[in-house]
Structure 1
Amino acid sequence: MTTATDRPGRRSEDPLVRQTKKATQLLVASARHSYDPRVDVNWDEPLEEGKWFLPEKRISLYGTELYDSLSMEQKLLLSREELASSLAAGVWTEHILLHLVSRYAYKRDITSPQVQFALTEVADEVRHMIMFAQLVEKTGSEFYPVNPKTQRAGLLLKTFAPVPALWAMLLLTEEFFDRFQREQASDETVQPLVRTVARIHVVEEARHISFARTELERFVPTLSKRRLQMLRDFLASVVKSIRRDRYNPLMYERAGLDPKVCVEAGRNNPVGLVNGAYGAERIAPYYKSIGLIGGRSEKVWRSAGWLKDA
């Protein structure tokens, strides 16, 4: 298998040295560009009438006849519930990350930049979880319970999965979520409060994504063919899970719509493939380039519309 250091354009610098340098840089960036949502978000700011809670084109039913039949009030309410549902998925991801980085740091030298940045990540993610919960409350929605199947899987993953496998899963979910948050942060049709929260998360999550990439580039080339295929299959199952959980019946029910009809309409909506491809636009080619997509797992990514031909 081609290693991270053998690829064209990739420096031959030792991966561990590169990771140490990256962690040191990220610690400096964290000190300069971190936020406290209690101070840096104006939670007293009123919501603006007629503003979306996420870009309209990202609503799961957008482009369907069912969506066209809804009133503007119903569309705005649906956008609110879809935002709340996505934030709950974000909190679940952050919660798994807390366990991951704790396990990562547990037996390592706390004086190393890598461990210190991992602990900095813990502090960031705790703030993000609380920030997301406060945003849900501010919008007037309620928090969404995690899908029981996903919750059970999370209990096993955070306890027993190899730490590098969790890095790979979390980089996938964070990169996917980050794509939409960047769009929310710059879309003036979206509620200003939502844009502020998205902007904070994007800035801080960029550091986490960068660190996870250096960790994977150091680790993936050491995998045997068998372990590489297991990791590929695991990531493909994550793709399936994200697609399944995207159409949460409860968000349609809370928006006053028929959940069964809406789930079917959402899953059959071609816009869903467009949105999936958009979310995976960065992570899919990157995982392909470092060997984390290949063999039978590649079919899953392509059938989901998440991987396009170069």
Structure 2
Amino acid sequence: MTDLMEKTDPLARQTKKAAQLLVASARHSYDPMVDIDWEAPLEEGKWFLAEKRCSLYGTELWDTLSLEQKILVSREELASSVAMGVWTEHILLHLVSRYVYKRDVSTPQVQFALTEVADEVRHMIMFAKLVEKIGSEIYPTPEKTLKSGLVLKTFAPVPALWALILLTEEFFDRFQREQANDETLQPVVRSVARIHVVEEARHISFARTELERFVPTLSSFKLDLLRKFLANVVKSMREGRYNPLIYQRAGLDPKVAIAQAKASPYAKENAAYGAERIAAYYKKIGLIGGSSEKVWREAGWIS
């Protein structure tokens, strides 16, 4: 009877999933301040981001750089992506806090959401420590992004919350799973990736159950708005990929570097790699369609 209820009642399925994730959180959570060896020295000659994932890889400019310069670019690209991760985690913890505000704290859903807030706070600190450890500096959040974030965290509807969580976390999780197992990378980068992958897997699972409950209830108008919102997030993430400060800090001409990075034969390949799982899932549940699909395609997130 219970199994039948879960198949026909999305709320029952979500409640069971939240209870399972609470148990998993208790068993498999980390304290980055303790579980990462921040005192270990960086290893000479190791990358901060896999060479094939660097924006300039495969360009004429890349071929002119020394190994040391290439590794420096990889460091700055990692630091820039981590800064985007910090902003995203900050927005998400605000949105999740809104989600729990009027709900019963005794339910597994709310208790897991609170656990997720705690995870995100630790991740923000972990990312900041990583930037410091690798010898870079925090990348400032663009003013336009800061302003849009204020609106987003205050007024975004619940379905947009879980859709945003899933979009960003699935995309970055794709690369971090690769990083965790890449022995050409600095050990501290791999350690951070391992912790983030384990804990974000729970967030991804919960966000999926939430979306599968909410999306079917949306009107055509609201579904279209959500599709357009997600397409704008994709567009923003693509633009953030080519932060001029990355190339400036690496000692390159930003205009030349950005032009070549955008024309790289690997640009869309890397974008499609990161978006492979989330794009397939969003197509399946109806969150890619209509005019929004063109934006995903232009960004290289779908072919």
Name the TM tier (shorter chain).
Answer: over 0.9
* Alignment-derived partner of residue 162 in structure 1: 157
- 1:257-272 to structure 2, matched below 5 A, reads 257-272=252-267
Amino acid at match of 1:145: P
Unaligned runs of 5+ in 1: 1-10
Distance 1:166 1:267 in 2: 30
- Partners of 2:243 and 2:162 lie apart in 1 by 26
> Structure 1 residues 176-185 or 296-305, which shifts more?
296-305
TM-score (norm 1): 0.95
Amino acid at match of 1:20: T
1:147–1:245 Cα contact (<8 Å) kept? no
User: What is the RMSD computed on CA atoms of the aligned residues?
Assistant: 0.9
Q: Residues 144-155 of structure 1 correspond to what in structure 2 (within 5 A)?
A: 144-155=139-150
**Residue aligning to 2:195:** 200
* AA of the residue aligned to 1:67: W
Quick one: distance in 2 between partners of 1:251 and 1:299?
28
Instruction: Assess if the C-alpha contact under 8 Å between 1:281 and 1:306 holds in 2.
Output: yes
Residues of 2 paired with 1:166 and 1:120: CA distance? 16
* Counterpart-to-counterpart distance in 2, 1:234 and 1:219: 16
What residue is the counterpart of 2:301 in the other structure?
A: 306
CA distance in 1 between counterparts of 2:178 and 2:144 reads: 29
| Aligned residues with identical type, % of pairs | 77
TM-score (norm 2): 0.97
CA apart distance, 1:164: 1.6
1:43 matched to 2:38: yes
**Selected match of 1:111 from 92, 106, 109:** 106
- Is residue 2:132 matched to residue 1:132? no
Tell me, what secondary structure is at the counterpart of 2:252? coil
The C-alpha deviation readout for 1:89-136, integer Å capped at 9, x for no partner, is 000010001101100000000000000000000110000000000010
Is contact 2:180-2:190 (8 Å) kept?
yes
Deviation at 1:303, TM superposition (A): 2.2
Shift of 1:208: 0.3
- The answer to whether the 8 Å contact 2:18/2:206 transfers is yes
What residue is the counterpart of 2:3 in the other structure? none
Between the aligned partners of 2:33 and 2:298, the Cα distance in structure 1 is: 42
Distance of 1:122 and 1:305 partners within structure 2 = 31
Take 2:7 and 2:291, find their aligned partners in 1: how far apart are those partners? 30
CA–CA distance in 2 between the matches of 1:146 and 1:265?
A: 24
- Could you tell me how far apart the structure 2 residues matched to 1:151 and 1:280 are? 24
The answer on 1:243 being equivalent to 2:238 is: yes
- How far apart are 1:238 and its partner, in Å? 0.7
Q: Which runs of 5 or more structure 2 residues have no equivalent in the other structure?
A: 1-5
Which letter does structure 2 place at the counterpart of 1:146? T
| Deviation sequence 1:12-62 (CA, Å, 0-9, x none) | 331000000000000000000000011100001110000000111000000
* Mapping of residues 19-58 of structure 1, within 5 Å: 19-58=14-53
Shift of 1:301: 1.3
Amino acid at match of 2:177: R
Tell me, yes or no, if structure 1 residue 81 matches structure 2 residue 73.
Answer: no
User: Which of 207, 211, 235 is the aligned partner of 2:206?
Assistant: 211
- Structure 1 runs of 4+ aligned residues shifted over 4 Å read none
Give the secondary-structure state (helix, strand or coil) at the position aligned to 1:189: coil
Aligned mates of 1:12, 1:128 — CA distance in 2 = 34
Number of residues of Structure 1 aligned to a counterpart in Structure 2: 298
